[in-house]
Structure 1
């Protein structure tokens, strides 16, 4: 409905505008012309030499109703704002020039026909409109049409396009197929008689209703009836009506509406009946109005009130019954849903318990398997050692180190078992207190100092600070020892190097009762806010991913909380992720037990803090130093990278493999990936559950990198479930061993993987690096690498200066990575492969060209033909000239 500006060709040259016919032209003012076409309406602005086009738009109900424009006429009272448009099938259109929107008057609104040929106005402001079905007088203010036909003296009902004219004296001329009509509008007088309108008949199912029938809804004649009551079965009913003007009754017109159903008047011309079907139960008013033979309306007309009764199941008392039944059903449904939710909650609780148990057993299994790997491995190593008959100094050191590993990991297992037993005692109510009266300040300081070596080993400052010089009170020393171990071990474990851990003691009053307040504070990694409410839940782990830092079962803090509570105290936690954590323990100060001075004898000899404390720190594990890449090829040992975050497992692996492999170690997955990319080892052993990057991520990263894709990877882990094993193999792992493993099996697996690599070397060493062949499977990264390697050599083969550095630059790879990659895939160094490809290319040229030996030598990059001949003879066992014989 809005104007869209377009630039058109100059119409003064007689060219067609958009290929349209131009049936009419209207000059609105000095600057504006309106042009009617058979495709829409054009507006031409003289000062801008610009056309705007307006046409029909199915998406816009306020656009032009029909594309064919027959005539254009200004509104008599608002010529600068309103234009009246006659269309060839869309009736009379009213265009508001300010909004650019159209409104319509069609046959259904009283117009004789939707084809409009001409429009003129009279002194009264009426519009006279010629159509295909007569002439009409239209009042723009009331929207009422007064129609005239051949019966009223017109030349014919059908008029012609463009055949209309208004003379200076106001006479109107309209031409049609039978001549033309000329008249003064003021001389055309209307019949002012307003006829009464009456309802003459009422029908049900197209049958007139007899008021004498027993079940008739009519009690008096329909013309005298003011209200009609119908039941819901009377779904088809009709009314007939009449205008009491008998001059020319065939020209009387009618309109009706059923208020409550359709409030719009339905203009039906000279039709005298109205039928309704499937009207919903309710109250309605039927109104009908009509005209005399000259079209003068009786606007008041007549009316009849109608009530349609609902069926019994839609009555108010039926709905009341429904409401009662619905309420009862709702109550039953509510009870059912409530019971169902309770059952679901119980099922979810049981399911969660099962999940927690499964997680517990998985974590416990993992925790048991890691120390068992060390214990069983060291036991096996000691069992086959020859120390029984003669023990050398080296054997003694080995024995001391092995027994230390066995003792430490055995204590780890004992700690886990004791924690499970304590939980079992708490659940069964058999946990009892063994209270003694002692100086807790001295005791807690002793427990804290036991962690100094462990803290120093991680470069963490551990501080004990008490505001009380001494404080004698009842306490269970064993339980307090477990509480402090769990809090301090967590603080040290999750605090980075350079951090600090503080143990702060003070006595406070709370509700008049003295309490010992112990705060263990660290500036470590902290706990996420959404995890804080669950840190004391059994089997809950803040980080349960395979990349979590440190191992754990989710038992320690839950046991700590329950031990604190059984001692009558409480424990709370405050933490911010990335800034640290504070655990606060409150224990009541009471003095009712037997007094005993602390001398250290009550501390459990297999105390948990001894496991990861002084013994570990004093016994430094000596691991192999990083190797240096040897491009001379004199070092025959294969290079092995061990990626493992557990130092004991790493030490054990080093001890059994160091005589067979040149070993490098990495403490987590990220460091492992970096070292593998830098040094390109021959084989890799990796744990799965590690900080930063887990074993799966390590495997995936290295297998997708062409620099390391050839390296066999053995995943060595305590995750024994099939899903983890399948995941590992899918990411490209070449073998998957579960802890505790048999060392002979590990040896065999490593040897077999080295053998497979040697077979790969034969594949690439047989001839030139192979072209990737189309097959059912995609070429491997190794195939693609060797193809690029070959292309890099061929690209610059004629250059005698071609060397390893040129290939590194071309392949975007370091010198070490290139050496290790080609050595692993072919058994040869890059320098040797360059020479091989030059000689093979020379052999090909000798067979396929007429070039002499010297020319071919220069062609493939040799600067000395004599040296070329010696190298050729050494490579193929014959001289270059012998190839052509």
Structure 2
């Protein structure tokens, strides 16, 4: 919609023609003091390398991330603050340092990493005093040298040395005279510094410091310089906003040209000044003036002008534009005397046409319908008049209702518009019937249709569509469906009846006749009706709450058949797809069903499938099988092949409103889509809706501990602080006490930033991305000690993700009780406790062992005493008795010399007494504790062997007897069993072996001893040996009883060896 009365003029300047019209529909968003801006007069706007926006005002410097402001002001109690609140200019040098020009506070700088603010004193290179308090402009050329415009001249400042030189005008020379007020400084590409004064333009050559002053244009000498407002560098020269207009100065080719004059904008005795400008692209300029914004296309000569309008919330907030900046995402920022005005796009995807109070335009913003009159003219129906819109000139002609005028409309509430195949144009109204548009030259007449066969004509006419026979289907409000014959001026009614097969509602909102002569009709509460035009019979489809595949609602708002012959129905509760294929058999097929509302006929789509709203007003199909659907919450793009929602758009994307209107959708001959609603209408080409392709600059903007932000060089209660800004920090160490950590972040894309989306994760805690929506913070609690990486990425308002994102490494320190030294202490304590416990147990066990040993020793001593005493007593008593028996036996034998048999008996008595005496000696030897060693045992066997074999002629050899055998103690039982084993073996050898030599050997090996008895006798075959022989079995049992192993080796004529192997008792197992 035009923001001012459109004027079409041709003005000749040189050979260029300018056409005044509203080329662009531009909407302005605003940032004012009510939105957080520190003050509304915005002198300068700048975007730094990180993507932050900076706004200099009369009351402080503002840093903006798209959501909130950070303020820089003078604070007398804080040395790290600006020296003045009045900000004129902001400039970022090649090192990222932000230089701030203040009025009354001189030159300030803000360090990019630490945020340290420094006021710079300038050291004069000569005797000239540097007037460094009131500074207006800053530029750099070459690197390291700042050129500063101030109230006393031009300053050249060396950043490294702080030395400065002042350049002032020479009043004695007209050629280099300039007023010492220098407000704008601009280096060009040729090494010149151009600067503004209030009385002309001045240039200084940096190679030789020659100064040139211009009161008029340098080369043509035609255009007045006057008070220079702005200078911008261009290839080969500069552009200058001077008194006469926008002047191009080409230094290389020594020429100048006035591109646009200010004079043509003067009106009402008020002169126009170009205050600020920006070059959007070659020959395309954005000019801020004292009377609004001007967009100038030098190639076409087209000018668009925008001014403040108190009645238009989307217009400029003030006509004086003080500063202009284009951010990297293409957003235009305009600083005015009443806040910041934002243009997100000069060529929006959705052009918005609307009426503005106080300006000519549409009769109403509540748009209800569209119809193309011809290639350049479009009819637009509203709730308050019919409008004819010129798409070339952007002008409107309004046709309001005029009662009593037969050539005009009787009702201005337009419900429907339609053009048939014969180029006849029809208008449907509320309460005024329907009309045929009849052009008469430059005039338009409206003929009300009054059918010959009907008296009702002042009806509500909701919808038109043409039949193949040329007749019109007409949907009415309360009178059912009409078929109108334009040639005969007759109607045929299809009224609502109670009869089966009739229309089931008298209000018809919409309809669609498919390629098979079936008319699909939408009603406000009677569901979807289907008319078979051949039979005149209706079928109707109603919502059945118990059948999910019935139509989702009985209020039908739109019907559309797509290019693949799929039927889509827009209802008050979502989109419904008719499942059966549209063909000639669809009506007979469905007509066979007796319970339509229980059949599976529809697939329904709503909120769960991604629709932002379920009121479906209208549908248009593009060339990619996609439906563009208007709702009560914007536009939806629906893929009919995959049956999914692809995109959604709302008012923040440039739509007229989130609320659209029924029937207000249209496609023109060029494929342009039109959708109307409660705040005008949108025009767009669906193939050119590209959205925002700029990937947000992702930054971590803050870190809070227990909801308190960490600050640079300002310790918190625990002494924690940042060395540099968090966005420039790669790694930070936190205490284990910092149990609640919050990361703050922002994706710097300024087109509808409220629709930017975020996703984050904390590697080391959870490696899955968390979709955060538009939430710009993430909080973690009770993190375990360790190292984590916080990663965050952003998507812009069109869903384009910056996959690189931003990251911050954080290290959580280990609590003292979990540190390595704590674990060392824990180990030492545990080891100490274990040591003390073990020592206690050992001491206790030792005491117990000692006590038991004492007891055992006492018992052993007692047993030994008893054994000694018993052995002695037994020896004395039994030995005495045996001796007497032996004596008596000898005496008896001497008296009975001739009694042979008796002598034989007495001999046996003598033998048994001898054996008994030997056994008694063995028993007594075993009982005697003085013999409890291996040495004594071998000695006893040696004595026994020598005694046994003395008179046999067998050579008895003993080997291996050493004194250290005394250290091997043997129990009484062990000595007895060893003694019995080898006595038995020696007796057998003496009786049966017929050996010449018998050897007894004892061997000590590690923790074992071995006793071997070998002979060189005749031996025997072990295989023929009866293992059950008593003597052999007893020998083996005795060996096993003492834990030994008895091995017998023998062979015929190869001797015999018997070996007993036992563990030494104190080293191995033994009894």
TM-score past 0.5 threshold: no
Report the TM range for the smaller structure's normalisation: under 0.3
Bigger helix fraction: 1
Bigger strand fraction: 2
Give the TM-score taking structure 2 as reference length: 0.23
Specify the structure having the higher radius of gyration (Cα): 2
